[in-house]
Amino acid sequence: MTSTNQHIQHHTEKNQNKARLLISCTDKPGIVAAISTFLHEHGANIVESNQYTTHPDEGTFFIRIEFAASDMKEKEETFQEGFKEIAAQFHMKWRLTFLYKLKNMAIFVSKELHCLRELLYEWESGGLMADIPLVISNHKEGKELVESFGIPFYHIPASKEIRHEVEEEQLKLLKEYDIDVIVLARYMQILTPHFVSTHPSKIINIHHSFLPAFIGANPHKRAHKRGVKLIGATCHYVTDDLDEGPIIEQDVIRVDHRNHIDDLKKKGRLIERTVLNRGVKWDLEDRVIVHQNKTIVL
Amino acid sequence: MTSTNQHIQHHTEKNQNKARLLISCTDKPGIVAAISTFLHEHGANIVESNQYTTHPDEGTFFIRIEFAASDMKEKEETFQEGFKEIAAQFHMKWRLTFLYKLKNMAIFVSKELHCLRELLYEWESGGLMADIPLVISNHKEGKELVESFGIPFYHIPASKEIRHEVEEEQLKLLKEYDIDVIVLARYMQILTPHFVSTHPSKIINIHHSFLPAFIGANPHKRAHKRGVKLIGATCHYVTDDLDEGPIIEQDVIRVDHRNHIDDLKKKGRLIERTVLNRGVKWDLEDRVIVHQNKTIVL
Amino acid sequence: MTSTNQHIQHHTEKNQNKARLLISCTDKPGIVAAISTFLHEHGANIVESNQYTTHPDEGTFFIRIEFAASDMKEKEETFQEGFKEIAAQFHMKWRLTFLYKLKNMAIFVSKELHCLRELLYEWESGGLMADIPLVISNHKEGKELVESFGIPFYHIPASKEIRHEVEEEQLKLLKEYDIDVIVLARYMQILTPHFVSTHPSKIINIHHSFLPAFIGANPHKRAHKRGVKLIGATCHYVTDDLDEGPIIEQDVIRVDHRNHIDDLKKKGRLIERTVLNRGVKWDLEDRVIVHQNKTIVL
Amino acid sequence: MTSTNQHIQHHTEKNQNKARLLISCTDKPGIVAAISTFLHEHGANIVESNQYTTHPDEGTFFIRIEFAASDMKEKEETFQEGFKEIAAQFHMKWRLTFLYKLKNMAIFVSKELHCLRELLYEWESGGLMADIPLVISNHKEGKELVESFGIPFYHIPASKEIRHEVEEEQLKLLKEYDIDVIVLARYMQILTPHFVSTHPSKIINIHHSFLPAFIGANPHKRAHKRGVKLIGATCHYVTDDLDEGPIIEQDVIRVDHRNHIDDLKKKGRLIERTVLNRGVKWDLEDRVIVHQNKTIVL
């Protein structure tokens, strides 16, 4: 499948000696010193880092570090093991990813294909660093498009009544393909708490409004009725509370009195695919930490 | 007072032969022909016009026409009278304004001065075509600033208990100064239905959120809690339903995880003054028609 | 070919009784009256109109009118003939288009497909009202994509040496398919003055910089060297002066110190396709008038 | 003077235990480890840090660190001295600033006051952390405004002929007031290489175009002639090459065919003050490093 995607292969090779650390923990003196000394002692060089500590009253420490080391593949275990100790010492939540290994991203879609398309093109042109081992849909509309990229398309019809069976089948596939990230690219089915709990902070959704305005159904119809001058889209992680998950990215587009509901939908599609694209990209680049139902984007 | 404002004087002189028509009515064939023939027969030339008719199902006609005629002052009554007939024929809601006469704009303010300041500077640099005969405030903070522009400042302390008396005093002043437009530039008192009814579609407010998100109090605190990535401001006409009036203009500004509530307020002030400025400008230029709790901006 | 595009068919049917007038001429009193009276007398109703007259010193009149009439198809010739007289009277440059007839748009492309893709998807989702009878390319990269939409793809290799022959072949195809608009969607060949002269104000190009910054080759390399904080794209009509034609639309995207030339190219692709899309859309909607190497967008 | 500015006093007190490091040097392994270990050993805690290393081929290391320590004032010399050693070891260019000490900012202005005003208001509302000990102008227009803030206003008439004497007088004042940053807020005189050399990367200018488009005089006139759809402003450090210094920030605003040169100037003023405000703010927050005629904004 990825044989067709030279951009990603090229990028992966070029960055085979790079890795990324994404950490959050209660702030304490000496964290940066401990991490950077460890990396230095193991021959790694920090390429880029961003760190942020919340207000002293609360004191949570967040850092994203991109580092390079020759022969990273051979050293992978050394870094993993060595870093475990530091993480234990500071009670860190952490993630260490190696750029030579691509993440596996699954895309869920229904009838509307604009978000799926944007992701596939961005992926093809090297903008999204991941493998896409499969696309799952409750409709057949996307089949031809997906398969033209050499990606397997799974058609799993869904409805409220068979939700449990559908999710079982989906979860089986996600496991089989070893999926790291699930993107709901206008997937019009509600996921059960069970499904969500299997992938905490790993399911990304796009909502077609500027949340918290127009939570729920028919946001464009309601936006038209209210006479707003901008409509938006919100990319967020999925939690059990519908439309209430941590927001990764939002943006808006201008509308005016000449725009009927259909025009709002058309303009909305443009801003939806733009915002989802950005949110997924940041997630794949290990830039996003979830903290208290908000995101830190480093 | 306007002796200090050469920009406005200059502009008024340059445009002394111009006038504007702002019309809405049920659509019928022949409206544009009737208006343009009338103007042509009375020696007027159309400089700019924008017309829009809502979807056939509803069929409301809106037009804004800017036209020029030599000796406009002498012809003012001719145009007023002549146009009355056309208006009657088509059952129009209409407004005919002559650019040599400035509108009278009153500004209401409380303690926060950023919106007042923006309006005064935009006015001074020729961006807002109006006279500002007075500023009314329930606090003293703005006094020095306002008087430095040669504008009378009326300090009328206000509270729930004396709302009635306060509004009586305000309405007396508005009448005395023959006020056309009232701008609430972060005026932190609720107006009674009686006050609002005296100036339908003539009271402009700035709300410090992207409505309908965060209707009501403390929008920045709630925006911070929700973790939004953009905050906004909404300029709207005041109606009896708080924060539910027809929206004239909205815009947003980017925020991130590093921004505490105070930062949101600071960034909010920037977008508030920008949006209010734009909304007031459009209103003064006779660009805004209210229709079914929405605005048509021509 | 258009059998696959239900959005456009649907839109064309819905608007079969609509037409558009796009006019420019020296300003004189009575133009709007003459046009609107003519339309009214022939049973047409103005749906939307925008008019603008340049500064009195120069005095050029521009108008775009969208009007509706029952049985428009039958009345087409009546409108065409009748309007000829008015046009003659006021020495107008004018265009009268009927919405039931789609314009024929040809797309020229080379190796980079992002702009072509954006146009095809926007077209498929009903955002660009035109027929696309063919795509011409000097490379083979776009073949599969284009044909997947049921559109003929003509591969005409090109080089300086055979420019004349290549253009002959292209012109023959444009004539055969009765092309109204040519879009250069990152077509990397220079057109001869002869070619350009055959389609005045009908060839739309996308330049990968915010003109007039970085006119000519390698704009991203030079933007990187200069350390700009925004990069842009410019959609313009092609004239004999390279990169000097009338600008239809421009926009920018933020870059920072972390972005290498490759990143600028990647971000540039996003803004290029967005800007080209918008410019082509406006042209197809008869919104753009060329006047003295500038555009009036109504 | 600063007695009137409670916002800044409050902020300075709240941050009296904070300091900032801004560093650039050739990249080597172990820099972050050395810095963070040093800070940790001296009881300092990193609050926020951003680090970036240019492409391996070139390999320049940049970091901005904000750190806190109890009793910072007493430890100031310890940090200064201790850090000198690390800096020497890695051949760093560096700057260590303590937030309890405000920078001294001088503003130069001519007749147009919009940028000066924006800076003064932003400063008054706590958005620009600096003292403003003086404003220098070659005209008298700004006197009243500046003195209303309790800031001394120096009127030094200037012309080509007396450039040398004028600059001597200016330099004397800058020395007397111990100025750290000079902001040219639409100061319409060219500075000599001598003047510029006395304050390398410390003179901030606002140019009224989106550089490198419309370098030099009359950018709005030329933008109008070219028919651009956006106009911009560029905030940059002053070097001997006019309009060629390292760019700190740029932004644009939309214009259209209805805008004459005067309208472009008016819209330009809005984007100029916005962009200058942002650039100055970043400089005062020690976010900007100049590197090879570009800026790294951390």
Residue B86 at interface with chain C, using a CB cutoff of 8 Å: no
Which are the contacts of A156, defined by CB distance < 8 A and separation ≥ 6? A136, A137, A138, A166, A169, A170
Q: What is the mean pLDDT of residues D40-50?
A: 93
Which are the contacts of A108, defined by CB distance < 8 A and separation ≥ 6? A135, A136, A137, A170, A182, A183, A184, A185, A187
pLDDT in tens, B138-163: 999 999 999 999 999 999 999 989 99
Partners of chain C (3+ Cβ pairs below 8 A)? A, B, D
For residue C74, being part of any structural domain is answered with: yes
The answer on C56 and C204 residing in a single domain is no
The answer on B120 and B172 residing in a single domain is yes
Per-residue pLDDT at D163:
93
For residue B3, being part of any structural domain is answered with: no
Per-residue pLDDT at D187:
97
The answer on A167 and A239 residing in a single domain is yes
Q: What single DSSP character describes residue A5?
A: -
The answer on A241 and A216 residing in a single domain is yes
Mean residue pLDDT across chain C: 93
CATH number of the domain enclosing A192: 3.40.50.170
Number of domains in chain A: 2
Which are the contacts of A173, defined by CB distance < 8 A and separation ≥ 6? A106, A134, A136, A154
User: How many CB pairs lie under 8 A apart between chains A and D?
Assistant: 62
In chain A, residues with a C-beta closer than 8 Å to the C-beta of D56 are 68
The answer on B122 and B41 residing in a single domain is no
For residue C2, being part of any structural domain is answered with: no
Q: Which residues of B are catalytic?
A: 243
CB contact under 8 A, A36 and D40: no
What token pair was written down for C201?
Answer: 């104000």
CB contact under 8 A, C266 and A127: yes
For residue A8, being part of any structural domain is answered with: no
What span, in angstroms and rounded, lies between the C-alpha atoms of B120 and B107?
Answer: 10
The answer on B163 and B256 residing in a single domain is yes
Residue with the bigger pLDDT between C9 and C63: it is C63
What span, in angstroms and rounded, lies between the C-alpha atoms of B273 and B259?
Answer: 20
Please count the CA atoms within 13 angstroms of the CA of B179 that sit on its side-chain side. Answer: 25
Residue D4 at interface with chain B, using a CB cutoff of 8 Å: no
In chain A, residues with a C-beta closer than 8 Å to the C-beta of B260 are 55
Nearest-10 Cα torsion for C172, C173, C178, C183: -120
Query: What whole-number percentage of chain D has pLDDT above 70?
Result: 98
Task: Judge contact between C98 and C72, C-beta under 8 A.
Answer: yes
For residue A10, being part of any structural domain is answered with: no
The answer on A118 and A93 residing in a single domain is no
Per-residue pLDDT at B1:
41
B10 pLDDT more than 90: no
Catalytic residue among A243, A256, A262, A286, which?
A243
For residue B225, being part of any structural domain is answered with: yes
The answer on D91 and D111 residing in a single domain is no
pLDDT in tens, C224-283: 999 999 999 999 999 998 899 999 999 999 999 999 999 999 999 989 999 999 999 999
For residue D235, being part of any structural domain is answered with: yes
A91 pLDDT more than 50: yes
The answer on A133 and A48 residing in a single domain is no
Q: What is the mean pLDDT of residues B48-60?
A: 86
List, in sequence order, the alpha helices (H) in chain A: 6-14, 31-41, 72-90, 114-124, 143-147, 163-176, 193-198, 219-226, 261-284
CATH number of the domain enclosing A78: 3.30.70.260
D111 pLDDT more than 80: yes
* Dihedral sign for Cα atoms in the order D148, D151, D152, D154: negative
- Which residue of D121, D124, D129, D276 to mutate against B (max B Cβ within 10 Å)? D121
The answer on B171 and B49 residing in a single domain is no
Which are the contacts of B226, defined by CB distance < 8 A and separation ≥ 6? A211, A212, A247, A294
Per-residue pLDDT at C184:
98
What span, in angstroms and rounded, lies between the C-alpha atoms of A210 and D79?
Answer: 47
Q: What is the mean pLDDT of residues A13-25?
A: 94
- Residue D126 pLDDT level (bands cut at 50, 70, 90): confident
Task: Judge contact between D119 and D185, C-beta under 8 A.
Answer: yes
Which are the contacts of A80, defined by CB distance < 8 A and separation ≥ 6? A96
Per-residue pLDDT at D2:
43
- Residue B192 pLDDT level (bands cut at 50, 70, 90): very high
Helix, strand or coil, per DSSP, at residue C164: helix
Per-residue pLDDT at A163:
93
Give the strand order in the sheet containing C18-26. Answer: B93-98, B18-26, B60-68, B45-53, C45-53, C60-68, C18-26, C93-98
Strands B45-53 and B18-26: unpaired
Per-residue pLDDT at A9:
86
pLDDT in tens, B218-247: 999 999 999 999 999 999 999 998 899 999
Residue D127 at interface with chain B, using a CB cutoff of 8 Å: yes
- Residue C1 pLDDT level (bands cut at 50, 70, 90): very low
In chain C, residues with a C-beta closer than 8 Å to the C-beta of B48 are 51-53
The answer on A197 and A174 residing in a single domain is yes
CB contact under 8 A, A40 and D50: no
Mean residue pLDDT across chain A: 94
For residue D46, give the nearest of A32, A39, A48 by CB distance: A32
CB contact under 8 A, C29 and B47: no
Q: Helices (H), strands (E): how many in chain B?
A: 9, 13
Per-residue pLDDT at B2:
42
Q: What is the mean pLDDT of residues C69-91?
A: 94
Question: Which residue is associated with the tokens 């990813």?
Answer: A97
Domain that holds residue D291: 103-297
- Residue C11 pLDDT level (bands cut at 50, 70, 90): confident
pLDDT in tens, C84-135: 999 999 999 999 999 999 999 999 999 999 999 999 989 988 889 999 999 9
For residue A60, being part of any structural domain is answered with: yes
Per-residue pLDDT at A56:
66
Per-residue pLDDT at C57:
65
For residue C114, give the nearest of A125, A148, A269 by CB distance: A125
